[in-house]
Amino acid sequence: MEITTEQVVKRSFPFIIQNHPIEYTGYPFLSVIQYKNQHIISIIDNINKKTVKAFVLDLCAPEGVDEELVINIASYWYEFERNRYPLSIEFSKRGMAGITAKILKTYTIDSISRIMGPLYVYPTENNIKIKRRKRREISPTVEIKRLIAIK
C-alpha cells in the first residue's frame, strides 16, 4: 500500500522523501532513488526496516527486458491493485517473475540518501512456512501389490 508523508514521518526512514513536483506529468508510480550518489529510475516494489526492493528501469535494455511491457503492467497494477499487493506479485501472476527478476534490485536503507516518488510498504515480514510431510523409506520386507485396471 502506498504510504503518506505523515506515515513516513512516523516510520522515520533515514533518507529524505520527496513527492513528485507539482508540474510532473509522467507515470505516477515511478520513483528516483539516490543510492550512493547515483540516481536510479525505478518502480518501488516494497520497503521494510532494512531494505528497499525496486524494479530498476535503467537495467531493462542491458538485461533484455521489454521496458514498455513492464511499464504497461505497472500502469495496470498502479490503477487497480497497488493497495492490495506489491508489483512483484502482479508480475508473478502474469508469469513474468523470472524475466523481471533480472531488474529487481535490493538496496540497503542506510545507503539511500533520497527517494523522489511514491513509496510502497506491504507487511511481508512474516515468512510463510509450508509444512511438508517427511518422506519415509519403505522397508524391503513390505510387499507392494500393484493393481491392474480391467476394462
| pTM metric for this prediction | 0.75
Report pLDDT for 1: 54
Residue ranges making up the domain that contains 74? 5-21+28-116
Neighbours of 141 (CB within 10 A): 5
Residue 126 lies in a domain: no
Per-residue pLDDT band at 9 (split at 50, 70, 90): very low
Residue 138 lies in a domain: no
Higher pLDDT: 148 or 127? It is: 148
| pLDDT 10s digits, 103-136 | 999 999 989 999 999 988 887 655 555 566 777 7
Residue 88 lies in a domain: yes
Q: Could you give the CA distance from residue 125 to residue 57 in angstroms, rounded to a whole number?
A: 26
Report pLDDT for 6: 46
Residue 150 lies in a domain: no
With cell 523409506, the residue in question is 137
Q: Which residues contact 16 (CB under 8 A, 6 or more apart)?
A: 113, 114, 115
Sign of CA dihedral 87, 103, 73, 95: negative
Residue 53 lies in a domain: yes
Report pLDDT for 10: 46
Residue 123 lies in a domain: no
| pLDDT 10s digits, 48-79 | 888 999 999 999 999 999 999 999 999 999 99
Residue 125 lies in a domain: no
Domain count, the chain: 1
Residue 106 lies in a domain: yes
With cell 508480475, the residue in question is 91
Query: Can you tell me whether residue 107 is helix, strand or coil?
Result: strand
